[in-house]
Chain A
Amino acid sequence: MKPMLWATWLLRCYPRAWRARYEQEMLALLEQHTVTLATLLDLLLGALEAHLDPNYRTVRPFFGFTDLRSIAITFVCAFTLAFFNMTTWTGLHPAVVGDVAGFLYTRLSDLGSVVMFLAALFSNLLVVGMLVKEVQGSRRKQLLWPAVCCLVLFFAAPLLFIGPRPTPHPLLRNPSPQLSAALLTRASQIYIAVLPFYKMIPVTIAPLQDQPSVYLGNLLHLAPFLSVLLSSLFIVLVTARKTSMKPRLPVLWITGVEVVVFSLGFYLFLGSILEPVLGLQAIVYLRPFYACLCLLVGLFMTLIIRKMMSKPRFSALWLIGLLCLIVSGFCLVVVFLLVGPVSRGLIGWIVYYGLDILPYFAWPATMVLVLLTSEVSRSKGRLALICASALALAMLLYMATQLVTLPSSLYDIQLYPHMITAWWTGSGAFLTTLTINALVTMVEVGIAIAMLIRGFIVLKTPTAPVTPQAGQTLTQRVQE
Chain B
Amino acid sequence: MRKKVLDLGRFSDPSLLILASLAAGPKHGYAMMEDIFQFSGTRLEPGTLYGAITRLEQRGWIEALESEDRRRPYQITAAGATALREQLATWNRVITTGLQRLPANEAG
Chain A residues within 8 Å of B, Cβ to Cβ = 7, 18, 22, 24-30, 32-33, 38-39, 42-47, 49-50, 53, 55-56
Contact = CB atoms under 8 A, between A and B. Distances in A.
B91 interface: no
Contacts of B33: 29, 33
A26 B29 contact: yes
Contacts of A46: 46-48, 50-51
**Which residue, B46, B58, B69, has most C-beta atoms of chain A within 10 A?**
B46
A26 B71 contact: no
Nearest to B34: A32
B50 A32 contact: no
A18 B47 contact: no
A50 B29 contact: no
B70 A45 contact: no
A53 B30 contact: no
Contact of A39 (B28, B30, B45, B58): B45
A43 B47 contact: yes
A26 B50 contact: yes
Contacts of B58: 55
Contacts of B50: 22, 26, 29, 46
B85 interface: no
Interface string B18-34: 00000000001110010
- List the 4 closest A-B pairs by CB distance, nearest first: A46-B47, A42-B45, A42-B47, A28-B70
Interface residues of B, number: 20
A28 B71 contact: yes
Contact of B70 (A27, A39, A53, A56): A27
Given A45-B10, A50-B54, A53-B54, A25 B47 contact: no
A55 B28 CA distance: 22
A470 B10 CA distance: 28
Contacts of B71: 25, 28-29
B72 interface: yes
B17 to A, nearest CB: 15
13 contacts: A18-B54, A22-B50, A25-B71, A29-B30, A29-B71, A38-B9, A38-B45, A39-B45, A42-B9, A43-B46, A46-B46, A49-B51, A50-B51
Nearest to B67: A25
A25 B28 contact: yes
A49 B69 CA distance: 27
B95 to A, nearest CB: 28
B48 A42 contact: yes
Contacts of A39: 45-47
Which has the most chain B C-beta neighbours within 10 Å: A29, A38, A43? A29
A28 B53 CA distance: 15
Contact of A26 (B9, B10, B46): B46
B54 A25 contact: no
B23 to A, nearest CB: 20
A44 B9 CA distance: 14
Residue from A24, A25, A32, A39 with most neighbouring chain B CB atoms (10 Å)? A25
Contact of A30 (B46, B48, B54): B46
A332 to B, nearest CB: 59
Given A26-B46, A42-B10, A43-B47, 15 more contacts: A18-B54, A22-B54, A25-B28, A27-B70, A28-B70, A29-B33, A39-B45, A42-B48, A43-B45, A46-B46, A46-B51, A49-B47, A50-B54, A53-B54, A55-B58
Interface in B40-85: 45-51, 53-54, 58, 69-72
Nearest to B71: A28
A228 to B, nearest CB: 51
B46 A33 contact: yes
B69 to A, nearest CB: 8
Contacts of B49: 29
Contacts of B45: 38-39, 42-43
Contacts of A32: 30
Interface in B1-19: 9-10
A44 B47 contact: yes
A50 to B, nearest CB: 7
Most chain A CB within 10 A, of B48, B49, B51, B58, is at B51
Contacts of A33: 30, 33, 46
Nearest to A27: B70
Nearest to B53: A22
Most buried by B among A26, A27, A43: A26
B54 A42 contact: no
Nearest to B74: A25
A33 B54 CA distance: 19
B51 A29 contact: no
Given A18-B54, A33-B30, A45-B10, A25 B72 contact: yes
Contacts of B72: 25
